[in-house]
Structure 1
Amino acid sequence: MNLPQRAEDAHAALAAAFNTGDLSTVMRMYDSSGIIVPEPGKPVTGPGKFEEAVKAILSVKGQMEIKTVYCLQTGNIAVGRSEWSITDGGEVKVAAKGIEVMRRQDDGSWKIVIDHAFGAETGLVA
């Protein structure tokens, strides 16, 4: 899997990575020194805990879809707002509205630095 070369392609690339079911493929999408919030109110940082959080998300079997609501970029930083879901056989297992911060890498690709999977949910307090 190639990393996205445009910030606005990061959501689609992340969904494709998750749909492989392969941990290393998904982890390539992230800067694991960043933050991931796999469930409301539970931010995780540090490579070991970050990987553990990604494994937990991968354990939800199904197909991930991510719709980009917007992506704003300035220089090497971008913020995206997403609506995502994991479905299995028509059953929605989890769905939410997220916010992601991305950073352009030295090779021109984009990685997610902050993934607040529930960050745009109504009434959520960080």
Structure 2
Amino acid sequence: MRFGRTTQGAHTVASTVTDLAALHPAWAERFNAADLPGMLALYESDAVFLPQPGVPVTGTGLGDALQEFIDLSVPVRVTVRHTAQVGELGLTAPGVTVTGGSTARVRTARA
């Protein structure tokens, strides 16, 4: 199973993640480095992102939504709690912690 695609041109070529358990830690590493092209390389072209409950974002809106989170300039920590894979289909259940300064909100998501 491969996650991601390479980018060319003005963007840094992102490495491909082949281990399902490494997907979310790779995403967090790229997020913390403000590497939007690297983050986008981890998504399939038809991916859906939920920046908040009930608000799905797809297509070109995905990059805009991720950039809004990057612009918060707060670190993300990910703990992979569960993974399951059958063929080319994979499911992960990460725990995500976002922390920041006095003006930042703290949100923890758990599966």
TM-score bracket, shorter-length normalisation: 0.7 to 0.9
Question: Which protein is richer in strand relative to its size?
Answer: 1
The answer as to 2:92 corresponding to 1:80 is: yes
What is aligned with 1:40?
Answer: 53
Alignment match of 2:34 (pick from 21, 34, 40):
21
How far apart in 1 are the matches of 2:22 and 2:94? 12
Normalising by structure 2, we get a TM-score of: 0.76
* Aligned-pair CA distance for 1:90: 9.0
What SS does the corresponding residue of 2:17 show, helix, strand or coil?
Answer: coil
- Alignment-mate amino acid for residue 55 of structure 1: Q
| 1:59 Cα deviation after fit | 1.5
Unaligned regions of 5+ residues in structure 2, if any?
1-13
Residues 38 and 74 of structure 1: CA distance in aligned 2, closer, same or farther (over 3 Å): same
What's the secondary structure of 1:71's corresponding residue?
A: strand
Choose which of 84, 94, 104 in structure 1 pairs with 2:106.
94
Name the aligned partner's letter for residue 59 of structure 1. Answer: D
Contact 1:83 1:95 in 2 (8 A): no
% identical aligned pairs: 23
Instruction: Pick the aligned partner of 1:65 from 64, 77, 80.
Output: 77
1:9 and 2:22 are equivalent in the alignment: yes
Change (3 A) 1:90 1:80: farther
Unaligned runs of 5+ in 1: 99-119, 121-126
- Per-residue CA distance 1:6-46 (angstroms, 9 max, x = gap): 11111111111101112112111111321000111111112
Aligned length: 98
Over the aligned positions, Cα root-mean-square deviation in angstroms equals 2.1
Higher relative contact order (CA 8 A, sep 6+): 1
